Amino acid sequence: MQQLDSFYKVCYNRFFEFEVINAVKNGKINAPIYLSVGQESIPVGVYSCFPNAAIFAQHRCHSWYLTYGGNPIALVDELTHKKSGCASGMGCSASIHDPSIPMFGHSGLMGDQVPIAVGYALESKKTTVTVIGDGSVEEDYVFASMGFAATKNLPILFVVEDNNLAILTEKYVRRSWDIVDVACGFGLNAFHSSDDPDEISNCISSLTLPALINVSTCRHLWHSGIGIDGPPAFNSYNSYKQKCKILGVEVDEIESKIINEVEKLWK
């Protein structure tokens, strides 16, 4: 049952991040932190279609690492600045890097993982996923990368995590165009999706690479840090939990088990 596996992964991603919040409060983490609370279902939907893809993400990528089989202990060590971390404690939250998955961290220049991912897809011919926010997608080299991927017919999926915010600035202030329209103009197969993992999976399964999917999602916390400005516009985790419960998934039991697992990781 796909929903069982998907809910487990979404749930694990979410409660891992809650423990990261506790670690920040307790002083265990002393570097900028970028959390995927509210956006933790997106990698799960992509994974169900491309479980063996190479991942090129930027900040807010803990959930991508965990979904694609990253060692959670190595992630804890990375976030707490230990040499035993997945990037030897040098990447921390913003640049999660682990070639064994394979997942490649970015340098901090917003969107720079996109042209690098396109180069990887060109050379390796392997399925590649590059993840980008709705703010970083506005960088000019991202557009050039999309056009090149279409021209060379590369096996790459561009995933836009669209929370409508570039730190705090909404899209309507920044631009008048839609990234799906732009991608189609370059010759990519491109669609909008909600952040329900089943919808993401269904949408991607109908696409031929190269392609782009723009996922409408909701960031629950600050761009960087653990602060909250107010209640989120919507809560996709609760919606998916209810959906899975109706389908017969024992969501409460799974949630309780995962809470115990991630608490032990941080002790």
What integer pLDDT is reported at residue 267 of this predicted model? 84
| Rounded Cα–Cα distance for residues 108 and 7 (Å) | 31
What's residue 152's pLDDT?
Answer: 98
Give, in degrees to the nearest 5, the angle at Cα 212 between 147 and 5: 150
Q: Of the given ranges (1-10, 67-76, 111-120, 192-201), which has the lowest mean pLDDT?
A: 1-10
This prediction has a pTM of 0.97
Per-residue pLDDT of 31-50, as tens digits, reads 999 999 999 999 999 999 99
Q: Please list, in sequence order, all residues whose beta carbon lies within 8 angstroms of the beta carbon of residue 140, skipping any fewer than 6 positions away.
A: none
Through-space distance between the first and last CA atoms of the chain, rounded to whole angstroms: 33
pLDDT more than 90, % of the chain: 93
- CA nearest to 145, candidates 171, 122, 177: 122
Residue where the block lists tokens 């992964």: 9
Q: Tell me how far apart the alpha carbons of residues 166 and 158 are, in angstroms, rounded to a whole number.
A: 18
Total domains in the fold of the chain? 1
- Tokens encoding 128: 């590649």
Q: Is the pLDDT of residue 1 over 80?
A: no
Residue 150 domain boundaries: 2-265
Measure the CA–CA gap between 38 and 1, rounded to whole angstroms: 23
207-234 per-position pLDDT tens digit: 999 999 999 999 999 999 999 988 999 9
Q: Indicate which CATH number applies to the domain containing 203.
A: 3.40.50.970
Quickly count: other Cβ atoms within 10 Å of residue 2's Cβ. 11
- Scored b (16 or more CB within 10 A) or e, 125-154 reads eebbbbbbbbbbbbbeebbebbbbbbeeeb
Coil vs helix vs strand at 128: strand
Q: Which amino acid is at 247?
A: L
Please say whether the beta carbons of 36 and 62 come within 8 A. yes
**Mean pLDDT estimate for the chain:** 95
With a cut of 90, say whether residue 134 has pLDDT above it.
yes
Q: Could you report the per-residue pLDDT of 143-175, keeping only the tens digit for each? A: 999 999 999 999 999 999 999 999 999 999 999
Q: How many CB atoms lie within 10 A of CB 225?
A: 13
Query: In the chain, where do the E strands start and end?
Result: 54-56, 103-104, 128-133, 156-162, 165-166, 169-170, 189-194, 211-216
